[in-house]
Structure 1
Amino acid sequence: MTRPAAIVTGGARGIGLACAQALADGGYDILVADLAETAADGLAADITKRGAKFANIQCDIADLASHTALVDAAMRTFGRIDCLVNNAGVGAVVRGDLLDLEPENFDRTLGINLRGTVFLSQAVAKAMLAAPGDHQRSIITITSVSAEMASPERPDYCISKAGLSMWVKNLA
């Protein structure tokens, strides 16, 4: 039987790493997408000792053109995508008064946290729906309490997380 396969963005450390490990323990093969391909190199032994196949790809979630390469890598490596964990993200570039928020910082935060995640989810969902079989598929998006709680010194981050929460509701 073919094992299910998961993509974990930002999976080289922190919450993403914990998600990759838990999915591997649960029987999934893992593809980690991270900004620095070398950041994921140390994960191979950890993930494979859990019985999973492991692959990694350097990917900037904000770069929409990289999404096709990410989906293609997962399909080429595993032949399927059963789970996407949207974990990659950044905090506010600069904390400060919301009246001083710079467009560049706003664009960067929303480009990674919201825009990149939305369009990667879209690309993966299309691949999931096009794949044969009736197995369960899921898209998991890591957000934050900042989706609900205002933080005037980092409005860009809060807006990005609130947008993700609404995106998930629309996907459901």
Structure 2
Amino acid sequence: MRGPPCFRLDFLLPVRVDVPLILQFIRELADYENALHEVEATEESLQATLSFPDTPPKRGSVYTALVSPPPSPADPAPIPVGMALFFYNYSTWRAAPGIYLEDLYVQPKARGNGYGFLLLRFLAAQVLQVNGRRLEWSVLKWNEPSIQFYQKVGAKPMDEWMKMMVEGDALGELSGGSV
């Protein structure tokens, strides 16, 4: 390890030139999860839906944190090696905000160096900054390395809950065509 990783100064809201890298990370994560064929995201759709410093926060704002190796004389502006895509949510039972981590990804060559931990630490700090009470996410049941990593940082499985989703034609039917 070249030293402790550090966050880029623009980690909370990456600039628009970061979109190709964010899309690359999304595709690499989907490939790891054997779901590359399901990725519909494009640079254009990410430009339209992610939050950036030049766009005010809006309902459904999605934020991105990027993590990079520390600068060095040989590499004064290192390229990010990982990201977290997240949004703010709310717990009615706790009457408190929180964060839902949509995706956490660190490139394979950079794993084991603390980047994933730093991204989670950053998100935990963001939760506490808004007087939030929880940071939550989903993990595929077969992804044992990630499950072990998450348990090491204090995460607990929520066995009593099942994730549900409505999409595609079923979403249109559920809306009753009232869009």
TM-score bucket (shorter structure)? 0.3 to 0.5
Structure with larger Rg: 2
TM-score normalised by L of structure 2: 0.33
Relative contact order, CA 8 A, sep 6+: which one is greater?
1
TM-score normalised by L of structure 1: 0.34
Higher strand share: 2
